[in-house]
Amino acid sequence: MDRLPVFKALGDNTRYAIYLELARSAVPCSTSDIAEALGLHPNTVRPHLERMREVGLLDVEVDNRGVVGRPQHRYSVASDAPSLGLEPSAFRLLAALLAGVADSSGATSELAAEIGRAQGEEDAPRQPARSCVQALMGELTELGFDPVAADDGSSTSIAFTHCPYQELAEAFPYLVCHLHRGIVEGFVAAKGGAEVTHFGTLDDRDPCQVHLTAR
């Protein structure tokens, strides 16, 4: 997704409010649903929805069920759009239940890391061709970790100042933290130019960071 049009679209206060309303909703919403929720006229909401659809923020489906006249369009946040941490509660519940299933099934840290590595390898080509550290910073930012990098000349440390999975990580650190470790390791290996020398988790004294050295 081209980020500049997305940022421009969300820079408008009304569009941002509409986007938040859709991000919080567990089901697609019609123009009238959104207008009623925000106290706006449907004619005000409609062009904003179309603008966000044009830049890829929203998906639209046509609902013909029992509607007289023009079919209703129902909007939802696109699967690859920024969630802003506002996924519907059903997704958070599903994540917690799946973590519980994995825990009960005897899943190990290394199994979690292996699954994460496959995801990291898949994600790496999406980041622009630049240095491995810059690409990883971009990936971590998109995932919601709010990374901060420090370079001492021989290695780079990236701290994760925010964990979007904190609640689950605290409950299942050996799964969630190592799933994240795998994502980082797979991403770095696929991108090339660096290697992971240390990954700090909640179990470590200096947690939530990764150390990279150039290759």
Query: Per-residue pLDDT for the chain (215 aa), expressed as one digit of tens each?
Result: 566 777 788 888 899 999 988 887 867 899 999 999 999 999 999 999 999 999 888 999 887 655 556 678 999 988 777 656 565 566 778 888 999 999 999 999 999 999 999 999 999 998 886 799 999 998 998 887 888 999 988 899 999 988 888 888 999 999 999 999 999 999 999 999 999 999 999 888 777 899 999 88
Sequence letter at residue 106? G
Q: How far apart are CA 175 and CA 110, in angstroms?
A: 9
pLDDT, position 24? 79
Q: How far apart are CA 168 and CA 97, in angstroms?
A: 10
The whole-model pTM stands at: 0.65
Sequence letter at residue 48? H
Neighbours of 184 (CB within 10 A): 24
Domain 107-214 has CATH 3.30.1380.20: yes
Class of CATH domain 3-77: mainly alpha
Give percent helix, percent strand, percent coil of the chain, each to the nearest 5: 50, 20, 30
3-77 and 107-214 have identical folds: no
Residue extents of the structural domains in the chain: 3-77, 107-214
The strand pairing partners of 214, in sequence order, are 194
